[in-house]
């Protein structure tokens, strides 16, 4: 037995925990895993760090690991056939070229991955879409996640990322936690909030539910869903009307204060209290406390961004921090805590329709010329590309075939599970001429694929992830990949080469070096430095060891805007798009649970995690709502919205407000995205996953319902080719 130890970064959330794997190299088997000391995690991990690697054993509990390329040789409707890589690559290249020749480069859409692949394949994917295909139609799941944070922060403070870093949370004096449930989504960040509380910080938690953070908070604001902007404007109103603003900071470091002041003066707590369902006195306390310290931190998540007014709330949060001078020192500032392990990185790599790597605008002719030269093409597209949430609009609703999306290359995302209004999304996927899925598992989206390209997983390749707080950290190969599968970077290079734009790299470091040379903010973050320091936080301009990177942004009140001044912005509150009504009297909000992760292809294939929770998931309901229809915890119920209907289990809890129910988006049977609405924020194009109208009904025949759940689950699995659970390795 040859025993080897390898340190790598966890593949789930953006907390970036460091894990040490012990393997038996001869058997190609994992013997042990435990957390080790890292910049963000100390030496801690959550249950997914401890138990979330079992999918590497391919137990096929939920879905099958992809082991060889497959194509529909006979075209749409024909069966998927296993083929050689050569045939698969030629098939993909030929079909993408066919679409491009007929409809032009902008008829092709690319989605890339904030998950296992890491930064290097994502850099190549956007390079492929831009330099080879010739379009800026490249995007990823940040769109349906923190895109509102990026847009709102860039418009006010100039930079979309967390201004502070995860360890700094612990020394904050006030934490304003809004729409963020760290205990479920980033448990190791939640630990920092607990530590801050133990050190005496005042915790304000604005969440309609009694989350774990709400439980340990000094002030819980259980606001009605969808009313964030009324609350944040009202806090600013109190700060200004009580003279608690930081006048010299406003004067020296910001602009457009007057216009902002005028709007928030419309939001006194007495007027806002009834809108939010809060006691005006609590809004005053929150504002006074927030303004009372120069170490006040705002942490936010999906309860802010996944609304059609998400960008406006982000702007108002950045403005609150400017108003009180809470920027530019340790343990202060704004924390949009990025969700996925590498969603910060996938943004960093320019997998967005408007920027190249390092947040350089595609609309800037000089920047475009720089990339065109480096990538050896005569020119690059100058128009901002399509956001991925607009694919249904450009397939199902667009009448002009010349403006439609005709091919979709989906690399490491599962829109058929994670996008809103799944019926519409399925209609779009079925109507697109050519769909490529490049993944590690046969996911829900793979059912619509014309070609499936199997990739190596986290644990089977090298690279760099960026943690939520701008920290580049290495991922390393733990096991040898099994089967006829390839590294994501190699697959993209092969397709590009077959399409007439040759790409070839020796290893991930060579890709990284090309990327950092083109991105001033990252130029100093060499592999060697990341290796030596363990983590390098951008911006890091200089490869010299003396430039160690940047712990917190906006030092000395110098913002990342064109003239260095922060720009005050907010707007007027309006309610969400679809509100409760006679037919659908409840509001449905969709959130996370701690043991399963996003589309669940990975955690659903880990025995320990599957044993904690399985189909059909739960709907959290208040005791009053349960009583009204006569259901109790464990009963199967039917949840219905204008768009669909699913069966799930009732979970009665005093943690939610009457009138609002909560589901998680991990499940196939209890798939809440059959119900969610695809209304988008007009700027960030982020869907309103957190609010739509729904009803919950009792199912009289529980025995029938139990059978139905088993049947639906088995039908989906068999459609996806999963016959049984197998043990391997």
Ligand X SMILES: Nc1nc2c(c(=O)[nH]1)N[C@H]1C(S)=C(S)[C@@H](COP(=O)(O)OP(=O)(O)OC[C@H]3O[C@@H](n4cnc5c(=O)[nH]c(N)nc54)[C@H](O)[C@@H]3O)O[C@H]1N2
Selection from Mo ion, ligand SF4, ligand X, none that 23 binds (CB < 5 to 8 A by kind) is: none
Phi then psi for residue 150, to 5 deg, are -65, -50
Selection from Mo ion, ligand X, ligand SF4, none that 412 binds (CB < 5 to 8 A by kind) is: ligand X
676 counts as binding ligand X under rule CB under 6 A: yes
12 counts as binding ligand SF4 under rule CB under 6 A: yes
383, two tokens = 């128009």
105, two tokens = 């480069």
Give the C-alpha separation, 231 to 228, whole Å: 5
Other residues' Cβ atoms within 10 Å of the Cβ of residue 443: 26
Q: How far is the CB of 671 from ligand X (least distance, A)?
A: 9
418 counts as binding ligand X under rule CB under 6 A: yes
**Given the DSSP bridges, would you call strands 636-640 and 536-537 parallel, antiparallel or unpaired?**
unpaired
Q: How far is the CB of 649 from Mo ion (least distance, A)?
A: 25
DSSP letter for 161, please.
S
**Spatial contact of 346 and 114, defined as CB atoms under 8 Å apart:** yes
State the residue for tokens 């769909």: 435
Judged by CB under 6 A, which of 30, 46, 221, 680 binds ligand SF4? Answer: 46
Query: Of 319, 322, 317, nearest to 335 (Cα)?
Result: 317
301 counts as binding Mo ion under rule CB under 5 A: no
Give the C-alpha separation, 91 to 68, whole Å: 15
184 counts as binding ligand SF4 under rule CB under 6 A: no
For Cα atoms 631, 635, 641, give the angle at the middle one, nearest 5 degrees.
75
Q: How far is the CB of 181 from ligand SF4 (least distance, A)?
A: 13
604 counts as binding Mo ion under rule CB under 5 A: no
What number of CA atoms fall less than 13 Å from residue 83's CA on the CB side?
20
One character per residue 226-245, x = contact with ligand X (rule: CB under 6 A) = x-x-----------------
> 524 to each of 106, 165, 696, how far by Cα in Å?
34, 19, 54
**Spatial contact of 338 and 162, defined as CB atoms under 8 Å apart:** yes
Other residues' Cβ atoms within 10 Å of the Cβ of residue 390: 20
Question: What order of strands is seen across the sheet that includes strand 18-24?
Answer: 3-9, 18-24, 29-36
**Spatial contact of 184 and 568, defined as CB atoms under 8 Å apart:** no
441 counts as binding ligand X under rule CB under 6 A: yes
Q: How far is the CB of 453 from Mo ion (least distance, A)?
A: 24
Judged by CB under 6 A, which of 17, 511, 525, 594 binds ligand X? Answer: 594
Selection from ligand X, ligand SF4, Mo ion, none that 535 binds (CB < 5 to 8 A by kind) is: none
Q: How far is the CB of 119 from ligand SF4 (least distance, A)?
A: 16
Cis amide prior to 539 (ω within 30 degrees): yes
Cβ nearer to ligand X, comparing 137 with 344: 344
Contact range with ligand SF4 by CB under 6 A, out of 152-160, 182-190, 607-615, 617-625 = 182-190
Give the C-alpha separation, 360 to 379, whole Å: 16
13 counts as binding ligand SF4 under rule CB under 6 A: yes
Judged by CB under 6 A, which of 107, 233, 457, 605 binds ligand X? Answer: 457
Residue with the shortest CB distance to ligand SF4? 49
Name 138's bridge partners: 110
Judged by CB under 6 A, which of 690, 692, 696, 705 binds ligand X? Answer: 690
Q: How far is the CB of 630 from ligand X (least distance, A)?
A: 26
12-51 positions binding ligand X, by CB under 6 A? 13
133-172 positions binding ligand X, by CB under 6 A? 141, 144-145
Q: How far is the CB of 53 from ligand SF4 (least distance, A)?
A: 10
696, two tokens = 């919950």
359 counts as binding ligand X under rule CB under 6 A: no
285-324 positions binding ligand X, by CB under 6 A? 301-303, 306
536 counts as binding ligand SF4 under rule CB under 6 A: no
Give the C-alpha separation, 128 to 431, whole Å: 24
338 counts as binding ligand SF4 under rule CB under 6 A: no
Q: Is 302 exposed, middle or buried (0-12, 13-18, 19+ CB in 10 A)?
A: buried
Number of residues forming the site for ligand SF4 (CB under 6 A): 14
Could you please report the per-residue DSSP string of 45-81? --HHHHHTTGGGG---SSSPBP-S-EE-TT-TTSPPE
Query: Of 313, 251, 236, nearest to 565 (Cα)?
Result: 251
82-141 positions binding ligand X, by CB under 6 A? 113, 115-117, 141
10 counts as binding ligand SF4 under rule CB under 6 A: yes
Give the C-alpha separation, 149 to 302, whole Å: 10
Query: Of 514, 452, 528, 485, nearest to 120 (Cα)?
Result: 514
DSSP letter for 432, please.
S
Judged by CB under 6 A, which of 23, 39, 48, 349 binds ligand SF4? Answer: 48
329-358 positions binding Mo ion, by CB under 5 A? 339
Selection from ligand SF4, Mo ion, ligand X, none that 418 binds (CB < 5 to 8 A by kind) is: ligand X
Q: How far is the CB of 200 from ligand SF4 (least distance, A)?
A: 24
Q: How far is the CB of 143 from Mo ion (least distance, A)?
A: 10
Binding site for Mo ion (CB under 5 A): 145, 339
Binding site for ligand X (CB under 6 A): 13, 113, 115-117, 141, 144-145, 178-181, 184-186, 206-209, 211, 223, 225-226, 228, 301-303, 306, 339-340, 411-414, 418, 438-441, 443, 455, 457-458, 488, 589-592, 594, 596-599, 601, 665, 672-673, 676, 689-690
Binding site for ligand SF4 (CB under 6 A): 10, 12-13, 15-17, 41, 45-46, 48-49, 186-188
């Amino acid at each position: 037995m040859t025993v080897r130890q390898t340190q790598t970064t966890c593949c789930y959330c953006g907390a970036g925990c460091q894990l040490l794997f012990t393997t038996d190299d001869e058997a190609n088997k994992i013997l042990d895993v435990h957390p080790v000391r890292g910049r963000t995690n100390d030496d801690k991990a959550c249950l997914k760090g401890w138990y979330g690697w079992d999918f590497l054993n391919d137990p096929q509990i939920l879905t099958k690991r992809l082991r060889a390329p497959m194509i529909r040789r006979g075209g749409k409707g024909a069966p998927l056939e296993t083929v050689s890589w050569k045939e698969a690559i030629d098939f993909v290249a030929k079909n993408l070229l066919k679409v491009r020749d007929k409809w032009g480069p902008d008829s092709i859409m690319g989605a890339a991955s904030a998950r296992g692949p890491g930064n290097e394949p994502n850099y190549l994917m956007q390079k492929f879409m831009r330099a080879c295909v010739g379009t800026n139609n490249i995007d990823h799941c940040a769109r349906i996640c923190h895109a509102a944070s990026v847009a709102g922060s860039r418009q006010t403070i100039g930079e979309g990322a967390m201004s502070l870093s995860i360890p700094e949370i612990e020394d904050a004096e006030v934490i304003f936690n809004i729409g963020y449930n760290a205990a479920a989504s980033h448990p190791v960040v939640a630990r920092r909030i607990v530590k801050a509380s133990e050190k005496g910080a005042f915790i304000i938690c604005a969440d309609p539910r009694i989350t774990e953070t709400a439980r340990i908070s000094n002030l819980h604001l259980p606001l009605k869903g969808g009313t964030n902007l009324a609350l944040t404007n009202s806090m600013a109103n109190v700060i200004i009307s009580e003279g608690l603003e930081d006048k010299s900071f406003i004067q020296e470091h910001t602009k457009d204060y007057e216009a902002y002041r005028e709007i928030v003066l419309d939001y006194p707590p007495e007027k806002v209290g009834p809108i939010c369902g809060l006691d005006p006195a609590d809004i005053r306390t929150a504002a006074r406390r927030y303004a009372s310290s120069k170490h006040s931190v705002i942490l936010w998540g999906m309860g802010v961004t996944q609304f059609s007014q998400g960008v406006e709330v982000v702007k108002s949060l950045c403005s609150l921090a400017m108003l009180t001078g809470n920027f530019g020192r340790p343990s202060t500032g704004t924390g949009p805590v990025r969700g996925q392990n590498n969603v910060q990185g996938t943004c960093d790599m320019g997998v967005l329709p408007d920027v190249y790597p390092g947040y350089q605008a595609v609309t800037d002719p000089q920047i475009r010329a720089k990339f065109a030269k480096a990538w050896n093409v005569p020119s690059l597209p100058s128009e901002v590309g399509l956001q991925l949430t607009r694919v249904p609009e450009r397939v199902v609703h667009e009448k002009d075939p010349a403006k439609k999306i005709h091919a979709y290359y989906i690399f490491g995302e599962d829109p058929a599970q994670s996008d809103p209004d799944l019926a519409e999304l399925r209609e779009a996927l079925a109507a697109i001429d050519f769909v490529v899925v490049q993944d590690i598992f046969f996911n829900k989206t793979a059912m619509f694929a014309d070609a499936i390209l199997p990739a190596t997983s986290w644990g089977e390749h090298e690279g760099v992830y960026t943690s939520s707080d701008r920290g580049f950290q290495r991922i390393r190969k733990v096991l040898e990949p099994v089967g006829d599968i390839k590294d994501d970077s190699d697959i993209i290079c092969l397709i590009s080469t077959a399409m007439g734009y040759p790409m070839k790299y020796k290893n991930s470091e060579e890709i990284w070096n090309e990327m950092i040379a083109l991105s001033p903010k990252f130029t100093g973050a060499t592999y060697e430095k990341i290796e030596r320091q363990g983590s390098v936080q951008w911006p890091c301009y200089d490869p010299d060891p003396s430039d160690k990177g940047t712990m917190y942004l906006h030092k000395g009140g110098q913002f990342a805007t064109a003239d260095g001044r922060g720009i005050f912005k907010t707007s007027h509150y309006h309610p969400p798009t679809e509100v409760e009504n006679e037919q659908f009297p409840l509001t449905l909000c969709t959130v996370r649970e701690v043991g399963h992760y996003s589309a669940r292809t990975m955690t659903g294939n880990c025995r320990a995690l599957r044993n904690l929770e399985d189909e059909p998931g739960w709907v959290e309901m208040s005791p009053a709502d349960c009583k009204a229809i006569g259901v109790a915890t464990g009963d199967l119920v039917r949840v219905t919205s204008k768009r669909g209907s699913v069966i799930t289990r009732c979970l009665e809890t005093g943690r939610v407000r009457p009138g609002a129910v909560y589901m998680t988006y991990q499940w196939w049977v209890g798939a809440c995205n059959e119900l969610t609405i695809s209304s988008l924020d007009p700027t960030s194009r982020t869907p309103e996953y957190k609010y739509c109208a729904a009803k919950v009904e009792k199912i009289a025949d529980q025995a029938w319902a139990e059978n139905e759940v088993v049947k639906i689950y088995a039908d989906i699995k068999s459609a996806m080719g999963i016959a049984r659970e197998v043990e391997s390795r």
